[in-house]
Amino acid sequence: MSGESQHAPSTPALLYRGLRLRCPACGKSPVFQGWFTMHEACANCGRRFDRGPGYLLGSIYFNYGVTALLVTVLYFSLFYADWLGDTQLLVVAALVALLFPIWFFRYARALWIAFDERWDPWPNEEERRRIVTSRNSEISE
Ligand SMILES: [Zn+2]
């Protein structure tokens, strides 16, 4: 690609932007407007946050993976620490398994979008073509 002076953000920058729930492309605008509601695109650079049907499913893998790891580490740590009875341990692990993914939801999505930006920066060829086509049809209307 030549012409546009667009340099890709580094992996640590993408990770940092994801953890701050910011646009992965520019790092300026927030990805979310509420706890579960996302902005359609970045207010600063126009990067779309939901690139198409099924696009955000990948964030579920992030959320699941982090939750499973956390609950496993927590469970065995508490099990070997021997602070809680079996029932208490089960209740604590179940509560973490239920509540953590809700809290982590936004981070999983923002990190997924940042991960995607690393491997398939927006807009790709097809998206660029779609943007040009929609601009042309707006002009001709
Ligand atoms: Zn942006």
Which tens digit of pLDDT belongs to each residue from 21-41? 999 999 999 999 999 999 999
pLDDT of residue 3: 35
Cis peptide before 101 (omega within 30 of 0): no
User: Facing residues of 32 across strands?
Assistant: 38
Q: What's the 120 CA to ligand 1 centre distance in angstroms?
A: 15
How many whole angstroms from 41 Cα to the centroid of ligand 1?
A: 8
Instruction: Determine the distance separating the centroid of ligand 1 and the alpha carbon of 87, expressed in angstroms.
Output: 47
* Integer Cα distance of 47 and 84 in angstroms: 48
- Asked whether 93 and 29 are in contact (CB, 8 A), the reply is no
pLDDT in tens, 65-118: 999 999 999 999 999 999 999 999 999 999 999 999 999 999 999 999 999 999
Please give the angle made by the CA atoms of 71, 73 and 74, to the nearest 5 degrees. 60
Q: Please, which pLDDT band fits residue 6 given cuts at 50, 70 and 90?
A: low
CB atoms within 10 A of CB 117: 19
Centre of ligand 1 from the C-alpha of residue 67, in Å: 28
Angle, in degrees to the nearest 10, between helices 86-119 and 11-19: 130
Whole-prediction pTM? 0.84
Cα(107)–Cα(122) distance, integer angstroms: 19
